């Protein structure tokens, strides 16, 4: 079978290969330098993507094309342009509206994908560097984790979907500061709810975060059962709340939750994407079984984020019958996987600040390396990256 790479996907493959080689050199020990190099290279590639050409010539419609249309409407008609000029209703998405309006003022719409790439990969890279410092991990941790994130995160989705990738990265950052570093609950939950102005699906993320708190008060088994069959409960609850709600913003969120949890009526399914999503679930379940993670579950700091991760995975399993919800929710699992990966004893330092040796920890690295390779193979060999163009 002949595989045709576009010039864009070929450049992306070269950058990915370069970052892998760089990770294996001494540069990886300077994690901030490695993260900065990766973010800059990926942002340049993101800037060069042309969603208009991708749609007209390759038939690859992306949300970025729609956002380009909306930014043109902002440029011509201004902030208060009539609703009919926009492809998206921004009344309930003030942060997104401000973001797009700001980009439209720059006059170059390609800055949208560049800035999105900086946020998604830059903020997650910063989180990895913070974990490396806070947990006193070997200098290779942030570099290794960053490359795994690059491998497992769908680059096309990251720079074209915009709202979900930015929201998931910010949610992950807030989650770490909330559950591990134990920052102010009031500030953290204010930030959680602010994400609703980016995408209403984060109401489900917030719900899971609240359930993670309840597991400290009630039996975990009952929480898992509730989450596993949440589609039934959430649908009934939202129908009831919709009758009581008066505000259009609250109602829009409820309608979205109802839409995501009722199941998809579409006949369009991509088996490879479902397989990739199941691999993500199996991989994080494997991490849960690792002795380092089980031991961390007894510690106060990491027990909460591990508990959140378990509830999240159960929710994903309960959503397997809903194609779009399942795909959306499992796309967050790599974030959690890489955070848990820092518990690998290969990255732990002893009292002399030297790396501990543990042959068993290598198995975890091999598993995650294989999973990363599967993701890279799927993205480059399928249409995902091959239809991207300059």
DSSP string, 126-171: HHHHHHHHHTTB-THHHHHHHHHHHHHS-HHHHHHT-HHHHHHHHH
Closest CA to 145 of 122, 164, 129, 165: 129
Work out the burial of residue 209: count CB atoms within 10 Å of its CB; fewer than 13 is exposed, 13-18 middle, 19 or more buried.
buried
- CA dihedral sign, ordered 293, 295, 297, 303: negative
Confidence of residue 227 (pLDDT cuts 50, 70, 90): confident
Average pLDDT over residues 1-8: 71
Half-sphere exposure (CA, 13 Å, Cβ side) for 291? Answer: 5
Percent of the chain past pLDDT 70, that is, above it, reads 79
In the prediction, which pLDDT does 225 show? 80
The mean pLDDT of the chain is 84
| Rounded distance between C-alpha atoms, residue 257 and residue 253, angstroms | 6
Bigger pLDDT: 300 or 211? 211
pLDDT (tens digit per residue) in 353-376: 445 545 455 677 888 899 999 999
Bigger pLDDT: 280 or 228? 280
Half-sphere exposure (CA, 13 Å, Cβ side) for 320? Answer: 14
In the prediction, which pLDDT does 250 show? 59
Closest CA to 158 of 379, 382, 381: 379
pLDDT higher than threshold 70 for residue 19? yes
Judged by DSSP in three states, 348 sits in strand
In the prediction, which pLDDT does 54 show? 92
Predicted model pTM: 0.90
Under 8 Å between Cβ of 235 and 258: yes
pLDDT higher than threshold 80 for residue 188? yes
Residues 6+ apart with CB under 8 A from 381: 3
Average pLDDT over residues 75-92: 76
Confidence of residue 247 (pLDDT cuts 50, 70, 90): low
Under 8 Å between Cβ of 146 and 334: no
Instruction: Please tell me which of 35-39, 58-62, 129-133 the model is most confident about, judged by mean pLDDT.
Output: 35-39
pLDDT higher than threshold 70 for residue 334? yes
Confidence of residue 6 (pLDDT cuts 50, 70, 90): confident
Domain ranges, ordered by start, for the chain: 7-49+110-386
Would you give the distance in Å from CA 144 to the centre of its chain? 17
In the prediction, which pLDDT does 261 show? 56
Residue 67: φ, ψ to 5°: -65, -35
In the prediction, which pLDDT does 372 show? 94
Percent of the chain past pLDDT 90, that is, above it, reads 49
Six token digits for residue 166: 């930015």
- Cα end-to-end span (Å), the chain: 25
- CA dihedral sign, ordered 85, 88, 94, 98: negative
Under 8 Å between Cβ of 120 and 169: yes
Least confident range of 169-178, 192-201, 243-252: 243-252
pLDDT (tens digit per residue) in 139-169: 788 999 999 999 999 999 999 999 999 999 9
Judged by DSSP in three states, 99 sits in helix
In the prediction, which pLDDT does 1 show? 47
In the prediction, which pLDDT does 352 show? 46
Contacts of 364-371 with C-beta under 8 Å, sequence gap 24+, read 364/287, 364/290, 367/283, 367/286, 368/148, 368/283, 368/337, 368/341, 371/152, 371/279, 371/280, 371/283
Residues 6+ apart with CB under 8 A from 259: none
In the prediction, which pLDDT does 127 show? 95
Confidence of residue 349 (pLDDT cuts 50, 70, 90): low
In the prediction, which pLDDT does 353 show? 45
| Rounded distance between C-alpha atoms, residue 7 and residue 3, angstroms | 13
Under 8 Å between Cβ of 305 and 127: no
């Amino acid at each position: 079978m002949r595989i045709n790479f576009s010039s864009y996907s070929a450049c992306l493959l070269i950058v990915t290969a370069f970052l892998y080689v760089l990770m294996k050199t001494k540069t990886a020990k300077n994690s901030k330098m490695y993260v900065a190099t990766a973010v800059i290279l990926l942002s340049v590639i993101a800037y060069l993507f042309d969603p208009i050409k991708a749609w007209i010539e390759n038939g690859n419609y992306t949300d970025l094309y729609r956002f380009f249309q909306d930014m043109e409407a902002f440029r011509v008609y201004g902030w208060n342009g009539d609703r009919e000029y926009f492809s998206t209703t921004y009344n309930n998405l003030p942060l997104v509206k401000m973001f797009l309006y700001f980009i439209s003022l720059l006059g170059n719409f390609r800055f949208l994908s560049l800035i999105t790439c900086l946020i998604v990969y830059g903020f997650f890279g910063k989180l990895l560097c913070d974990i490396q410092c806070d947990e006193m991990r070997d200098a290779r941790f942030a570099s290794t984790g960053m490359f795994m994130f690059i491998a497992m995160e769908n680059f096309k989705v990251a720079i074209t979907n915009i709202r979900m990738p930015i929201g998931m990265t910010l949610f992950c950052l807030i989650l770490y500061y909330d559950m591990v570093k134990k920052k102010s609950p009031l500030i953290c939950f204010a930030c959680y709810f602010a994400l609703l102005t980016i995408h209403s699906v984060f109401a489900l993320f917030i719900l899971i975060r609240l359930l993670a708190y309840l597991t400290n008060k009630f039996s975990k088994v009952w929480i898992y059962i509730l989450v596993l069959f949440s589609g039934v409960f959430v649908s009934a609850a939202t129908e009831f709340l919709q009758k009581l709600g008066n505000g259009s913003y609250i109602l829009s969120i409820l309608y979205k939750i109802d839409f995501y949890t009722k199941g998809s009526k579409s006949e369009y399914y991509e088996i490879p994407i479902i397989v990739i999503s199941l691999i993500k679930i199996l991989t994080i379940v494997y991490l849960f079984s690792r002795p380092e993670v089980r031991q961390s579950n007894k510690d106060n700091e990491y027990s909460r984020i591990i508990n959140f991760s378990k509830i999240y995975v159960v929710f994903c399993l309960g959503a397997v019958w809903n194609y779009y919800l399942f795909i959306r929710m499992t796309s967050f699992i790599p974030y959690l996987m890489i955070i848990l990966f820092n518990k690998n004893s290969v990255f732990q330092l002893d009292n002399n600040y030297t790396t501990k040796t543990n042959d068993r920890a290598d198995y975890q690295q091999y598993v995650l390396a294989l999973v990363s390779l599967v993701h890279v193979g799927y993205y480059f060999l399928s249409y995902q990256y091959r239809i991207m163009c300059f």
